[in-house]
């Protein structure tokens, strides 16, 4: 695999093979080998619930364990130490069938103790939608996050050949295709868990 340079990213964008919309500042957001993405205005955090654990086999709605918060322009979402929240990129991204992408946190955010993805940094070929950010504060101080702020970067890598069944293919279980807001885990739809009986 090879990582796309800024020159190739611009060409893919100009040819609309990669779509990132809206790209507010073409020159400032495109880095030497990535594109900076901004954070949206909706955040999701876990409620305090009276259950011993979250069971991925439970048929109840996992989304009910979380609450959404909408942050007005100019206001901040404060993420406290050891807190976890979901958000999305402000931009909608479309990946072609012959590329994969990775979301990485910006170094400036990491130096504040903020991580932008826990395990969901990988984006499949064919994905289209806003990218979910799994945000954690592993630092000692609360940190303010502002809608529209650049918080992460997307890196594109070429594949040896286009995917036969990209994300969104009718035969693929693409649970998050076309998402427009932070989506809670849909793990209960995983085929191996659906086969198990809930006790």
Question: Is 31 annotated among the ligand-binding residues?
Answer: no
How many angstroms separate the Cα of 67 from the Cα of each of 6, 18, 55, 87? 38, 32, 18, 12
Give pLDDT tens digits for 162-194: 988 777 666 666 666 767 777 666 666 666 766
Give pLDDT tens digits for 56-95: 777 666 767 788 999 998 999 999 999 999 999 999 999 9
Indicate whether 38 pLDDT > 50: yes
- Phi–psi pair at 79, nearest 5 degrees: -105, 125
Question: Is 124 annotated among the ligand-binding residues?
Answer: yes
What pLDDT, on a 0 to 100 scale, did the predictor assign at position 78?
96
Domains and CATH numbers, the chain: 2-51+61-184 (2.70.40.10)
- Cβ atoms of 83 and 45 closer than 8 Å: yes
- Mean pLDDT for the chain overall: 87
Question: Is 110 annotated among the ligand-binding residues?
Answer: yes
Closest CA to 39 of 94, 95, 100, 114: 114
- Cβ atoms of 57 and 188 closer than 8 Å: yes
Active site residues: 134
Counting residues of the chain whose pLDDT is more than 70, the rounded percentage is 84
Question: Is 134 annotated among the ligand-binding residues?
Answer: yes
Q: pTM here?
A: 0.83
């Amino acid at each position: 695999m090879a990582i796309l340079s800024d020159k190739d990213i611009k060409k893919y964008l100009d040819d609309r093979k990669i779509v990132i919309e809206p790209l507010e500042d073409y020159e400032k957001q495109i880095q030497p080998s990535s594109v900076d993405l901004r954070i949206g205005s909706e955040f999701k955090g876990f409620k305090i619930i009276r259950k011993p654990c979250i069971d991925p086999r439970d048929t109840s709605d996992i989304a009910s364990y979380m609450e959404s918060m909408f942050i007005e322009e100019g206001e901040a979402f404060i993420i406290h130490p050891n807190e976890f929240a979901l958000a999305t990129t402000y931009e909608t991204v479309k990946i072609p069938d012959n590329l994969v992408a990775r979301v990485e946190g910006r170094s400036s955010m990491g130096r504040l103790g903020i991580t932008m993805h826990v395990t969901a940094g990988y984006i499949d070929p064919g994905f289209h939608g806003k990218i979910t950010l799994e945000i954690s504060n592993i630092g000692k101080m609360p940190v303010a996050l502002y809608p529209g702020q650049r918080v992460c970067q997307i890196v594109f890598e070429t594949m040896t050949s286009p995917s036969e069944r990209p994300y969104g293919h009718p035969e693929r279980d693409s649970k998050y295709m076309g998402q427009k807001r932070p989506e809670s885990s849909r793990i209960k739809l995983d085929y191996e868990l659906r086969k198990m009986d809930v006790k």
